[in-house]
Amino acid sequence: MKSLFQRFSVPYQYPVHFTTGVFLPDNTVLLDTLLAAGRGPHRVLCVVDEGVLHGDTQVLAQIEAYFHHHRDSLNLVRSPLVFSGGEAGKNGSQAYKMVQAAIHQHGICRQSFVIAIGGGAVLDLVGFAAGTAHRGVRLVRMPTTVLSQDDSGVGVKNSVNAFEKKNFLGTFTPPFAVINDFAFLTSLEHRDWIGGIAEAIKVALLKDPAFFDFIEANADALVTHDEAAMKHLVYRSAELHLRHIGQGGDPFETLSSRPLDFGHWSAHKLEQLTNFELRHGEAVAIGIALDATYSHLDGLLPAPEWERILALLSRLGFALAVPDTVQSIGPSEDPNALLHGLTEFREHLGGELTITLLRGIGEPIEVHRMDEDLVAVAARMLQHSTLPARVPAQVSAPLTDQLSAV
């Protein structure tokens, strides 16, 4: 037998810029970012989340004016495409195929740019279209929500939903650049302002107890839309996510461990079971509460730290209970049960089920099985907790007492 083995590495580097007013004519962050690829003029296709227009009706005009102002270097090939945001936009193939058709029609090549401006769902579908056209054209992401600026928009994944599964089709395609414009956040409705904080809490629980302390100390300021507090939260959360992707040893998720998806096995399933009426950040908050409660019941997470986690989520206004519209918690064999999320989580990566739990704030631990009965107990505890900001004393009672209490 003869064998040949190929081995090579490809370095990846992309900037994540933080600015305000990216489409103001005298703001050169975007211009400088594109010109870093070489002298223009560069062909550019812009795709905009419709939700952005609800917050600022002048965005499309500002985009066209910006490119006209810099027309010697940038060529906007057509007026921006506009797509509906939200997870429903990732269902089916119509949306991403329209982006691919525009890439084809307007001659967007591997030396051109696609700019995606929107929330995480729009960034996902545009990134999937750009990552598969010509085997990958340059993508610049402009996240416009807290969740996409502090987490999903700075990463390397793109996807659409298929076969009734979230993110079933996708690519690992790092962006050419990410530009976080804080001005987009100031027009968010409260639900989306708060929703993205769940991902910041998640990464703080995994990576940085001091960051958790910061969110805890500034919870009231964040709820009242304090801009300084939110700017720090977005920056630090993005920094921690980038550090894990670049230094965690598995940027393209070839292994069976996904620590940055703490709380997500149930969150993804909750989105599906509620027909995506529950937004991703809201689902992640429930998933964090559920896995923190499970960690406590399993003897891993001490009561004081568990109480802090639930109290912080509640102070920020998150609902911690599984929605009433979810009819069944288990068993995991039932596709319509919450616990089926464990099955889908394992199937997504293959191999051994690997779930991240907590031994403390900043102390993650990986486990390879979860007791389904204990998950159900944790879910019922959250369902019956009327004051989650002040966890009832009974929840620290022995498990046998909890079974009878709920």
Q: What are phi and psi of 357, to 5 degrees?
A: -120, -170
164 or 148: which carries more pLDDT confidence? 148
Q: What are phi and psi of 152, to 5 degrees?
A: -65, -35
Instruction: Report the topology of domain 250-405.
Output: Dehydroquinate synthase-like, alpha domain (1.20.1090)
Whole-number average pLDDT of the chain = 90
Intervals of CATH 1.20.1090.10 along the chain: 250-405
CA distance linking residue 333 with residue 259, whole number of Å: 24
Whether residue 45 contacts residue 102, with contact meaning beta carbons closer than 8 Å, is answered with yes
pLDDT at 175: 96
> Region 263-275: what's the mean pLDDT?
92
Q: How far is CA 13 from CA 174, 176, 182, 200, 338, in A?
A: 8, 8, 23, 23, 38
Instruction: Report the topology of domain 16-187.
Output: Rossmann fold (3.40.50)
pLDDT tens readout for residues 75-100: 999 999 998 888 888 888 888 999 99
Intervals of CATH 3.40.50.1970 along the chain: 16-187
Q: For residue 275, give the nearest of 51, 93, 50, 87 by alpha carbon.
A: 87
Dihedral angle, C-alpha 202, 207, 208, 209, nearest 10 °: 70
Q: Which two tokens stand for residue 97?
A: 């195929």
> Region 226-249: what's the mean pLDDT?
93
pLDDT tens readout for residues 24-76: 999 999 999 999 998 879 999 999 999 999 888 899 999 999 999 999 999 99
Q: Which two tokens stand for residue 379?
A: 């879910």
Question: pTM to 2 decimals?
Answer: 0.88
pLDDT at 257: 67
